[in-house]
Chains A and B, each alone.
Chain A
């Protein structure tokens, strides 16, 4: 009897080991409550119960994580979300190191340069601790990133690219992911104005801005003011393979995420709070008006692709 139990323990230990190597912990999904309180050194807890449970206890520390934004003008939200994650990482680190932000010149030109003062106001990361590397070509961006990942001193590496460059394919993401795993360092891959693409990252989040709540004062909410930054985060890919949609609010003062209790708090606002669909096929809805062409005109423009078939880079440039 006793030997049987020992053997079973051994089998479980082996299973856990295999699951750890594969990066999936299936038993977490069976008993979500068991790990929620205990926490896990290998995972970064976001602090929102449902979100953490979906990610299997939090965001893996030794992994590549993709964070997508639909449009270039939503880049502020994506960068803000990444900075908030970096802030959480630093908060929980024993000896906080600098954060390296590697970006393509194209992104910095199109979406603005990361502003250290704004980053500090949002995440508490001192300007001197946010190192910025800039390269004009995607190959150089990947080179800098791959060289930076093994550095012990860095707390996190943030890589920012725009659109879907050819060189950033499954192989490139796998290289980044393997290096991140080997070094035990989180790598956040920000992809502005990008479409979902095959990736080796275990988690892909799609971040878009959410309308903010008014500022809180002693006299109640302040009318027409802009409160804490809010994000609509869609879990596009995760080991649990369950889609999820969350509206998170970042509290820069206390450095924590909260889930918005009542998304309809802005009922007066006629616009839908959630701006994207949960599925994958239709993630970049056209902002323009759909105009029906006459039959004759349609046949005349035979060679032209339909407006939806344009590349991802066309997405953010659509006019209203």
Chain B
């Protein structure tokens, strides 16, 4: 038996058949139940855990259809439109689903119907049932109004006016019903009868293309998974070819025998079709996650989904050689690095309109695109003097308090080593961007200094000397060549 805190009391949230036989009911106070039967075994409810379990089950149900939605805290909607022939028809499919849930130790009720509302009613009130198209009315007629997925107050209202079955609701005039109980009642009724379309919003985005493979014998080895990816990618290529597209984002779903689902996603800089390249990308990804990739007893279903596709321009190879191949190689290389080491592993600096040194260059993930034209040399006077190495976070530098209030320091201590400045250039004053940091932010005075060993540093002083205030601090921001 499971207890739950609700409305300041502890109530029974769920109970098994034996407890039901003792005359206990859901919603009953736990104290009352204990008074009746002191030997009850009570477990506290764990809504978060139940939610996780339901989501795991939803993941597992992905094997039947990509359109799986959660229904409340204890139900799942599966939109199996077009999927039933794969399982031999509607009834066999329902049997398969129930048998597989039973094998996992779940007591499941299921219904299959042309509308979501009718299937819901069949599952909750009738148990295992396939409702033929057009038979929704016969199914719903004898059922209580709760079968229409209505809120509690609406049901209570219907009960109080004597409408105790769906049949009676259907017979009643619609306008007064809508006025009294709100539009929801009629919408639910129409949805259940198929007069109004109802969209089941899936939990996960629905891929553009899916290929999958059921395996008679579960696979465990990573090499086998890679081979499987290539087989799936070969099947996917035919579909992509037909659409004239290539995949940009791919996901491999591996359904483990015990119900767990691993999803491995990759994205590419260029539209991709070649099975071998797809396999290579997944190989890098699998190599990277090898530590938390648990095959358990093996995978019995593998699915490759293409979530986003792009037109794939088939390039004609010239007789002289392949012009664009080198650039593609670079993009593929970047994809592989990213698949293995994470999205931030391969970056391309891009100059940005900002005079703050650390913001002047933005790092973007390299997408395989290089600026056209050769590496023209920019006239030097146009470029400011900037260090070749820049510290992401400027490091504090100790400058003795005896220093002159203006100008570069004579000596400074950085990383515990004392450096004496032989020559210095500056200051270059860089004001903060007031639209970002506010107008009160202190300015930086940058100095280029060279120490006695010839090392060149980029130092700055934050703010100015002012009477009655602590002296400004110094920071090391970069190293010059």
**Which residues of A come within 8 Å of B, CB atoms?**
73-77, 79-81, 83-84, 90, 95-98, 108-109, 111-122, 124-135, 140, 143-144, 147-148, 151-154, 208-212, 224-226, 229-232, 250, 252-253, 255, 269, 271, 273, 275, 287, 317-320
CB-contact partner of A230 in B390, B454, B457, under 8 A: B454
B350-A117 in contact (CB<8A): no
Choice from B333, B419, B456 contacting A147 with Cβ under 8 Å? B333
Residue of A with least CB distance to B481: A80
Q: Which residues of A contact B386 (CB under 8 A)?
A: 115, 117-118, 121
Instruction: Give the residue name and chain of the A residue nearest to B336 (CB).
Output: A147
Task: Determine whether B478 belongs to the interface, using a CB cutoff of 8 Å to chain A.
Answer: yes
Quick one: given A117-B384, A119-B388, A229-B480, are A209 and B370 in contact (CB under 8 Å)?
Answer: no
Q: For A152, what are the chain B residues with a Cβ–Cβ distance below 8 Å?
A: 325-326, 329
Q: SS class of chain A's interface: helix, strand, loop or mixed?
A: mixed
Does B387 count as interface, using CB distance less than 8 angstroms? yes
Q: What 1/0 mask marks residues of chain B from 328 to 342 whose CB sits below 8 Å from any chain A CB? A: 011001101100110
Interface members, chain B 337-376 (any A CB < 8 Å): 337, 340-341, 344-351, 357, 360-361, 363, 366, 370-371, 374-376
A153-B326 in contact given A76-B456, A112-B391, A226-B450 (Cβ < 8 Å): yes
Cα–Cα, bound, A151→B332 (Å): 10
Q: For B349, give its contact among A128, A133, A319 (CB under 8 Å).
A: A128
- Point out the residue from B345, B419, B455 that lies within 8 Å of A134, measured CB to CB: B345
Q: Which of A81, A148, A320 contacts B418 (CB 8 A)?
A: A320
Cross-interface CB contact of B422 among A122, A124, A128, A211, cutoff 8 Å: A211
Q: Is B429 on the interface with A (CB-CB < 8 A)?
A: no
Contacts A117-B386, A151-B330, A319-B416 given; indicate if A73 touches B380 (C-beta within 8 A).
Answer: no
Instruction: Choose among B350, B380, B415, B448 the residue that contacts A127 (Cβ–Cβ < 8 A).
Output: B350
Give B residues with C-beta under 8 Å from A.
325-327, 329-330, 333-334, 336-337, 340-341, 344-351, 357, 360-361, 363, 366, 370-371, 374-378, 380, 383-392, 414-419, 422-425, 448, 450, 452-457, 478-481
In the complex, which residues of chain A have a beta carbon less than 8 angstroms from the beta carbon of B452? 269, 271
| A-B contact list, 25 entries, CB within 8 Å | A73-B455, A76-B457, A76-B479, A81-B481, A83-B481, A112-B390, A116-B349, A117-B361, A118-B387, A126-B378, A127-B350, A128-B350, A133-B337, A133-B341, A133-B345, A209-B453, A209-B454, A211-B450, A224-B424, A226-B425, A226-B450, A229-B480, A269-B452, A287-B417, A319-B418
**Candidates A77, A121, A147; contact of B384 at CB < 8 Å:** A121
Q: Which residue of B lies closest to A94 (CB)?
A: B374
If A126-B371, A140-B340, A255-B377 are given as contacts, then 16 extra A-B residue pairs at C-beta distance below 8 Å, sorted by A number, are A73-B455, A76-B389, A76-B457, A77-B455, A79-B481, A111-B389, A115-B388, A115-B389, A115-B390, A116-B349, A118-B387, A124-B378, A140-B341, A211-B453, A224-B423, A271-B454
Measured CB to CB, the closest approach of chain A to B454, in angstroms, equals 4
A151 partner residues in chain B, CB cutoff 8 A: 326, 329-330, 333
Given A132-B348, A140-B340, A140-B341, are A120 and B416 also a contact pair (CB < 8 Å)? no
Partner of A132, one of B347, B387, B414: B347
A127→B349 contact, CB < 8 A? yes
Given A253-B380, A317-B415, A318-B417, verify A147-B337 contact (CB < 8 Å). yes
Residues of B within 8 A of A319 (CB): 416-418
User: What's the nearest-Cβ distance from chain A to residue B384, in Å?
Assistant: 7
User: By the criterion CB–CB under 8 Å, are A96 and B453 in contact?
Assistant: no
Q: Are B370 and A117 in contact (CB under 8 A)?
A: no
Bound state CA distance, A181 and B380, in angstroms?
A: 35
With a CB–CB cut-off of 8 A, which chain A residues contact B370? 97-98, 128-129
Residues in B neighbouring A73, C-beta threshold 8 A: 414-415, 417, 455, 479
B406 to chain A, nearest CB (A): 16
Chain B residues positioned under 8 Å from A144 (CB to CB): 337, 341, 345
Known A-B contacts A115-B387, A128-B371, A132-B349; A250 and B478 likewise in contact (beta carbons under 8 Å):
no
Measured CB to CB, the closest approach of chain B to A135, in angstroms, equals 5
**B351 engages A320 (CB within 8 Å):** no
How many angstroms between the C-alpha atoms of A16 and B106 in the bound complex? 78
Once the chains bind, are A76 and B454 in contact (CB under 8 Å)? no
Determine the chain B residues whose CB is within 8 A of the CB of A77 once the complex forms.
Answer: 455, 481
Q: Which of A90, A113, A224, A229 contacts B392 (CB 8 A)?
A: A113
- With A98-B370, A212-B454 already in contact, the answer to whether A132 and B363 are too (CB < 8 A) is yes
